[in-house]
Chains A and B, each alone.
Chain A
Amino acid sequence: MEHKNEQPNEAQGHHISSYKEHFSTLAALLLLTVLTVAVSVFGADLRSLSVATALLIATIKALVVAYYFMHLKYEHKLYRWLLLVVVLLFVLFLVVTSIEYLNR
């Protein structure tokens, strides 16, 4: 099997994010924060719906931080795969545990 480019490599050169890009990222994150607080404060009677939106927004925010601030977007794809596996593993922990508890 040939494994070209399988390894992340320094020689690939580093992406330098611009200040502007960081600034827009922050703007997006703040917007999402306002949104999630608003949903919670004004949508208090949505109950489980508001839990879902809060977690959804948090996940989006986390992805934005990871992709732009943490440069995941410009990293070798290995890193995205690993992160995916780790998150998947953790989510499966939660799922399996809830299967157990919800059927008590």
Chain B
Amino acid sequence: MEHATGLVLPNSGHNRDAEASKMGMWLFLFTELLLFGGLFLVYMVYRMLNAEAFLLASFELNIALGTINTVVLLVSSMTIAMAITAIQKGDRKTSVLLLYVTVALSLVFMVIKFFEWSAKINYGYFPGMEVYQNLPAGESLFFFLYFFMTSLHALHVIIGAVFIAVVIYRTNKGFVTAEKYTLTENAGLYWHLVDLIWIFLFPLLYLIH
């Protein structure tokens, strides 16, 4: 805190304010929603303009892998929610364990995603590749959006995992306690957002047949 001297106001911006950090986190999540929202808008318009092509292209995606990944994310959402419960109850060990599980699940998600991507890239569906350039009108747009949306989402998965790793570190150091667990809560909120986005990406990309 920069000012040691002087008047201390009851509503000081330098007070620890858990509610403020949580509110800040929510507001940040709103911006994330609209960031992806822009992409969903593009998706909607292009699907409207190229309904058949999008349908055909979506058959190329692997529903099984998509479903597994959905389950992975849902479970990880639960584990981090439980980690919050644990820390609220003062059970630091369980909390950290659950956070580890969450990070592990995020890795599982990324590995599966990686295999999915490389399969597509092997086919040549990546923007700029030979096969991609010769795709029928509309299908290439689908694959562009597929890569754009899933990689932006994957970026969020990575950021989320790093965020959780920080929480683990801070919890182990004893900075996160039963009275002061906003950090865990915020990591949880962020992680749930990652899940939320996927909940919409999954049907829009894989399922709409």
List residues of chain A with CB under 8 Å of any chain B CB.
8-10, 14, 16-19, 22-23, 25-26, 29-30, 33, 36-37, 40-41, 44, 50-51, 54-55, 57-58, 61-62, 65-66, 68-70, 79, 82-83, 86-87, 90, 93-94, 97-98, 101-102
Interface size on B, residues (CB 8 A): 43
Chain B 34-60: CB-based contact to A (< 8 A → 1; otherwise 0)? 100100110011001100000000000
Complex Cα spacing A61 to B84, Å: 21
| B85 and A30 form a contact (CB under 8 A) | no
- Given B18, B44, B71, B209, which contacts A98 in the complex, CB threshold below 8 Å? B44
Closest Cβ–Cβ distance, residue A34 to chain B (whole Å): 9
User: A70-B192, A97-B45 given. 19 additional CB < 8 A pairs?
Assistant: A8-B19, A9-B19, A10-B17, A16-B89, A17-B81, A19-B85, A26-B74, A30-B71, A37-B207, A40-B63, A40-B208, A41-B209, A51-B208, A58-B199, A58-B202, A58-B203, A66-B192, A69-B78, A69-B192
Q: Does B150 contact A (CB under 8 A)?
A: no
Please tell me if B101 contacts chain A, counting CB pairs below 8 Å. no
B30–A54 touching, CB < 8 Å? no
Chain B, residue nearest A17 (CB):
B85
- A94 B44 Cβ-Cβ under 8 A: yes
B189 contacts A by Cβ under 8 Å: yes
Complex Cα distance, B196 from A65, in Å, reads 7
* Shortest CB distance B99–A (Å): 14
- Give 25 A-B contacts (CB < 8 Å), ordered by A residue: A14-B88, A16-B85, A25-B81, A33-B70, A36-B203, A37-B63, A40-B206, A41-B63, A44-B209, A51-B208, A54-B203, A55-B203, A58-B203, A65-B77, A66-B196, A68-B81, A69-B77, A70-B189, A79-B23, A82-B26, A82-B30, A83-B26, A83-B30, A86-B34, A90-B34
